[in-house]
């Protein structure tokens, strides 16, 4: 067996021995008594009896060896600011934030919702929460009031941390009015709101509820707030993600298992060393931002770059200039970002000294071969695809170069990562597909390894039903992705089995978009599908049935209604959910039992064969869509 094959086998066959070894990479206040308690499947409890703290492992433990080294590098090409925080400075800021949250009443187990742009204060807030045992819920700053309100409702935060605004492409995006709107829509009200004032917009301060970070920070300048020793299985955070139903799911993560999983991945997969710099271009609102902007790099003792701005401003070389300036060794981005850069001057790729950079990791959506090839040749660096989900927190499929050097294969995110007992299953029978090149659902046999979701926040039943009972006859975790595996164990991901779409690496539920569109007074019914797009991977397209079509007399009337519908989505979900097109029809294709045939609509839009339509109620419905498209 090769070194990796052996390593992988051990992680499955001697699960507890393997992870007991990995657990030594983090600092515990009390050593775990039991590696994995899987007595109540599918609920896995990792490192039972151990106590630790994520903030201790990300910040405090490094004060001994690297107090004056960079920890957080906050760069904004929107406000033209750059600030480097050493571990000592980060430690001080986090304690100021922790003391401020405590003053606002936050205690262990309370939820704190963070709705912020990519600024250092967002990192302080996340680290401050886990320091005191509060559970953070970061909501992507691009989400609008409706999406934010449903997350406030579900997480019931005691405090919300936010800001006057962010900026995108030189345009200020005000956060405070959206936040106020979301709080008024939610039946749960936070007792306090803590606001970072960047002086980008004037804030309407609600007396008694709203507090300014600047003032509280001054008050707690010398704060000493020790880390709370948490049980390994205590939740560290929840992060909402989309699924088949309209209601987003709060993915709940533990403390000790997550710390161990990230430390292991930094060593075996990303190969980042203490004292080096990591640059992930994601956003803290997504899982990549949690694992590989904040916790992973810091736990590894690396400096991490937080970047606010576009990849193309002031020009398409900005990211590479940061690699040169901060001697970035490991970089992480998404295929869409590379496709955006591909439209820029290729000379920008060779303008800077990139000798520090060892590899560029890409994840979040399928990496097409031309994009991989272009960036590989342009940078002359290994491009490493990796496949995972909000639910898992770290790669399911990838290449573990820290264990054994292997090359990526174009089009494949790699082989099963250690700890994941990955199977391909037949969708209908649940039978395992062991042969090469067979298409099946990518599934994982329990227990999920450390770092993966514990449950859905406040909804164990939904966790079991959604993830573990979707494949007939087996209790196995479904990723809801189609995949095939070649004879060498390399997987290829073929898209989602459910109604989730992936737009520019952003995971969206088509049902959420449909619910938003249905709130327009003149829409009675709508189907949203994801269709292939050369730049964004997929875009959302909506087919809507209007209640009163009498006004739809010409193209201008169609365009007006289309713009109105898009505006509704902008205001409820945010521009990330806005469909690229909204088309109006008189009927939608459905089965005789009334189920929307989204896959058939998608196939028509992408010019593919629609397959078996014997259960379709009214074939004219699909013909209408064909006619519109032609
Ligand atoms: O469909 C898969 C796709 O993105 C989904 C997970 O999205 P999210 O929860 O936002 O987590 C992203 C973490 C990187 C998956 O179910 N996906 C993710 N990575 C890849 C991918 N599809 C193909 N190749 C990948 N490398």
How confident is the model over 171-219, as pLDDT tens digits? 999 999 999 999 999 999 999 999 999 999 999 999 999 999 999 999 9
Cβ neighbourhood burial of 249 (10 Å; 0-12, 13-18, 19+): buried
Bridge partners of residue 75, in order along the sequence? 82, 307
Closest CA to ligand 1's atom 3 = 365
Write the CB contacts of 13 (distance below 8 Å, at least 6 apart in sequence). Answer: none
Instruction: Look at residues 495, 490, 455 and name the one whose alpha carbon lies nearest to residue 479.
Output: 495
Q: Quickly count helices (H) and strands (E) in the chain.
A: 20, 32
Categorize the per-residue pLDDT at 469 as very low, low, confident or very high, splitting at 50, 70 and 90: very high
Q: What is the pLDDT of residue 243?
A: 80
DSSP sequence for 558-596: HHHHHHHHHHHHHHHT-GGG--SEEEEES---BBTT--B
Residue 556 tokens read as: 């201008």
435: left (phi over 0), alpha (psi -120 to 50) or beta: beta
pTM for this one? Answer: 0.96
Q: What is the pLDDT of residue 382?
A: 95
Cα of 449 to ligand 1 centre, how many Å? 18
Cα of 604 to ligand 1 centre, how many Å? 24
Closest CA to ligand 1's atom 25 = 387
Beta strand pairing call for 537-546 and 581-585: parallel
Mean pLDDT, all residues of the chain? 96
Question: In ligand 1, which atom is closest to the CA atom of 506?
Answer: 10
Which of 36-40, 202-206, 523-527, 619-623 is predicted with the least confidence, judged by mean pLDDT?
619-623
Cα of 150 to ligand 1 centre, how many Å? 23
Closest CA to ligand 1's atom 8 = 389
pLDDT at residue 160 is higher than 70: yes
How confident is the model over 493-508, as pLDDT tens digits? 999 999 999 999 999 9
Q: What is the pLDDT of residue 245?
A: 75
Beta strand pairing call for 523-533 and 537-546: antiparallel
| DSSP H/E element including 604 | helix 598-605
Cα of 390 to ligand 1 centre, how many Å? 8
Question: In ligand 1, which atom is closest to the CA atom of 389?
Answer: 11
pLDDT > 90 in the chain, percent: 93
Q: What is the pLDDT of residue 613?
A: 80
Cα of 136 to ligand 1 centre, how many Å? 22
Question: In ligand 1, which atom is closest to the CA atom of 395?
Answer: 14
In which residue are the tokens 């520090």 written? 356
522-537 mean pLDDT: 95
Cα of 334 to ligand 1 centre, how many Å? 10
The vertex-353 CA angle with 351 and 356, nearest 5°, equals 145
Cα of 368 to ligand 1 centre, how many Å? 14
Residue 386 tokens read as: 């990796």
Instruction: Look at residues 138, 294, 104 and name the one whose alpha carbon lies nearest to residue 217.
Output: 104
Cα of 216 to ligand 1 centre, how many Å? 39
pLDDT > 70 in the chain, percent: 100
What is the C-alpha separation between 328 and 263, in angstroms, rounded? 19
pLDDT at residue 285 is higher than 90: yes
Rg over CA atoms, the chain: 24
Alpha carbon of 194 to those of 103, 209, 496: distances in Å?
11, 9, 38
Question: In ligand 1, which atom is closest to the CA atom of 362?
Answer: 26
Cα of 303 to ligand 1 centre, how many Å? 25
Q: Which of 241, 372, 387, 394 to mutate to test the pocket of ligand 1 (most atoms within 8 A of CB)?
A: 387
Q: What is the pLDDT of residue 250?
A: 97
Q: Where are the alpha helices (DSSP H) in 416-542?
A: 460-463, 510-518
Closest CA to ligand 1's atom 5 = 389
pLDDT at residue 344 is higher than 70: yes
Cα of 7 to ligand 1 centre, how many Å? 24
523-536 mean pLDDT: 95
Question: Dihedral of CA 199/200/202/205: which sign?
Answer: negative
Q: What is the pLDDT of residue 1?
A: 62
Categorize the per-residue pLDDT at 619 as very low, low, confident or very high, splitting at 50, 70 and 90: confident
Cα of 500 to ligand 1 centre, how many Å? 11
Closest CA to ligand 1's atom 10 = 507
593-597 mean pLDDT: 89
In which residue are the tokens 């040169």 written? 324
Question: In ligand 1, which atom is closest to the CA atom of 500?
Answer: 1
Question: In ligand 1, which atom is closest to the CA atom of 241?
Answer: 9
453 CA to centre of own chain: 13
Bridge partners of residue 458, in order along the sequence? none
Alpha carbon of 426 to those of 429, 430, 447: distances in Å?
6, 5, 20
Q: What is the pLDDT of residue 593?
A: 87
HEC-encoded secondary structure of 42-107: CEEEEEECCEECHHHHHCHHHHHHHCCCEEEEEEECCCCEEEEEEHHHHHHHHHHHHHHHHHCCCC
Closest CA to ligand 1's atom 23 = 366
Question: In ligand 1, which atom is closest to the CA atom of 413?
Answer: 26
Q: Which of 413, 490, 495, 507 to mutate to test the pocket of ligand 1 (most atoms within 8 A of CB)?
A: 507
Cα of 386 to ligand 1 centre, how many Å? 8
Cα of 498 to ligand 1 centre, how many Å? 13
What is the C-alpha separation between 526 and 586, in angstroms, rounded? 10
pLDDT at residue 315 is higher than 80: yes
Question: In ligand 1, which atom is closest to the CA atom of 286?
Answer: 10
The vertex-71 CA angle with 250 and 322, nearest 5°, equals 95
Question: In ligand 1, which atom is closest to the CA atom of 367?
Answer: 24
Cα of 253 to ligand 1 centre, how many Å? 18
Q: Which of 270, 493, 498 to mutate to test the pocket of ligand 1 (most atoms within 8 A of CB)?
A: 493
Closest CA to ligand 1's atom 18 = 364
Categorize the per-residue pLDDT at 575 as very low, low, confident or very high, splitting at 50, 70 and 90: very high
Q: Which of 282, 338, 384, 388 to mutate to test the pocket of ligand 1 (most atoms within 8 A of CB)?
A: 388
Closest CA to ligand 1's atom 26 = 387
Instruction: Look at residues 450, 415, 453 and name the one whose alpha carbon lies nearest to residue 18.
Output: 450
Cα of 578 to ligand 1 centre, how many Å? 20
614 or 627: which leads in pLDDT: 627
In which residue are the tokens 């193209």 written? 555
SS3 content of the chain, % helix, strand, coil (to 5): 35, 25, 40
Check if the beta carbon of residue 174 is closer than 8 Å to that of residue 197: no
Q: Which of 265, 363, 504 to mutate to test the pocket of ligand 1 (most atoms within 8 A of CB)?
A: 363
Q: Which residues line ligand 1 (CB under 6 A)?
A: 241, 286-288, 363-366, 385-390, 413, 479, 481, 493, 496, 502, 507
Cα of 365 to ligand 1 centre, how many Å? 5
Cα of 388 to ligand 1 centre, how many Å? 5
């Amino acid at each position: 067996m090769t070194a990796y094959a052996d390593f992988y086998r051990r992680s499955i066959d001697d699960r507890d021995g393997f992870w007991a070894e990995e657990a030594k990479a983090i600092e515990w206040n009390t050593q775990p008594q039991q590696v994995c308690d899987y007595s109540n499947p599918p609920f896995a409890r990792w490192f039972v009896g151990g106590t630790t703290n994520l903030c201790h492992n990300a910040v405090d433990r490094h004060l001994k060896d690297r107090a004056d080294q960079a920890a957080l590098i906050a760069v904004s090409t929107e406000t033209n600011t750059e600030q480097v925080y050493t571990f000592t400075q980060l430690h001080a800021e986090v304690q100021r934030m922790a003391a401020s949250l405590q003053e606002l009443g936050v205690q262990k187990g309370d939820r704190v919702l963070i709705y912020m742009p990519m600024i250092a204060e967002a990192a302080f807030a996340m680290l401050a929460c886990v320091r005191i045992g509060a559970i953070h819920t970061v909501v992507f700053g691009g989400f609008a009031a409706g999406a934010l309100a449903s997350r406030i409702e579900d997480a019931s935060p005691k405090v919300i941390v936010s800001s006057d605004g962010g900026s995108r492409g030189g345009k200020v995006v005000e956060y405070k009015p959206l936040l106020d709107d979301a709080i008024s829509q939610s039946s749960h009200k936070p007792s306090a709101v803590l606001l970072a004032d960047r002086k980008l917009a004037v804030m309407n301060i609600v007396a008694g509820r709203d507090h300014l970070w600047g003032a509280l920070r001054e008050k707690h300048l010398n704060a000493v707030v020790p880390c709370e020793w948490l049980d390994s299985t205590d939740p560290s955070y929840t992060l909402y993600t989309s699924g088949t139903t309209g209601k987003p799911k709060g993915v709940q993560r533990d403390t000790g298992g997550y710390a161990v999983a990230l430390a292991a991945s930094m060593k075996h997969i990303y190969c980042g060393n203490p004292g080096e710099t990591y640059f992930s271009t994601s956003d803290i609102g997504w899982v990549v931002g949690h694992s590989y902007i904040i916790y992973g790099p810091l736990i590894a003792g690396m400096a991490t770059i937080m970047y606010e701005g576009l990849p193309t401003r002031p020009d398409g070389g900005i990211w590479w200039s940061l690699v040169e300036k901060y001697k970035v060794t490991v970089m992480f981005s998404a295929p869409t970002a590379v496709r955006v850069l591909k439209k820029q001057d290729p000379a920008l790729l060779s303008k800077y000294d990139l000798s520090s950079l060892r590899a560029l990791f890409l994840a979040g959506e399928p990496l097409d071969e031309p994009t991989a090839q272009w960036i590989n040749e342009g940078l002359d660096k290994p491009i490493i695809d990796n496949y995972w989900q909000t639910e898992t927190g770290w790669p399911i499929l990838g290449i573990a170069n820290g264990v054994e050097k292997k090359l990526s294969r174009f089009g494949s995110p790699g082989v099963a990562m250690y700890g994941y007992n990955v199977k391909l299953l037949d969708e209908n029978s649940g039978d395992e597909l062991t042969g090469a090149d067979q298409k099946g659902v990518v599934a994982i046999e329990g227990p999920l390894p450390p770092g993966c979701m514990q449950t859905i926040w406040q909804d164990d039943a939904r966790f079991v039903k959604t993830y573990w009972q979707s494949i007939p006859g087996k209790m196995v975790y479904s990723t809801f992705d189609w995949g095939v595996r070649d004879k060498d164990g390399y997987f290829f991901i073929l898209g989602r089995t459910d109604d989730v779409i992936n737009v520019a690496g952003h995971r969206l539920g088509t049902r959420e978009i449909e619910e938003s569109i249905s709130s327009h007074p003149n829409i009675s019914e709508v189907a949203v599908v994801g269709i292939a797009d050369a730049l964004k991977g997929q875009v959302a397209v909506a087919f809507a049935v209007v209640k009163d079509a009498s006004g739809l007399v010409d193209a201008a009337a169609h365009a007006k209604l289309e713009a109105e519908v898009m505006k509704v989505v902008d205001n409820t979900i945010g521009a990330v959910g806005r469909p690229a097109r909204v088309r109006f029809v008189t009927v939608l294709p459905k089965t005789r039992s009334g189920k929307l045939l989204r896959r058939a609509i998608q196939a028509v839009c992408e010019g593919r064969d629609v397959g078996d339509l014997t259960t379709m109620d009214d074939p004219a419905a699909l013909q209408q869509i064909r006619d519109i498209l032609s």
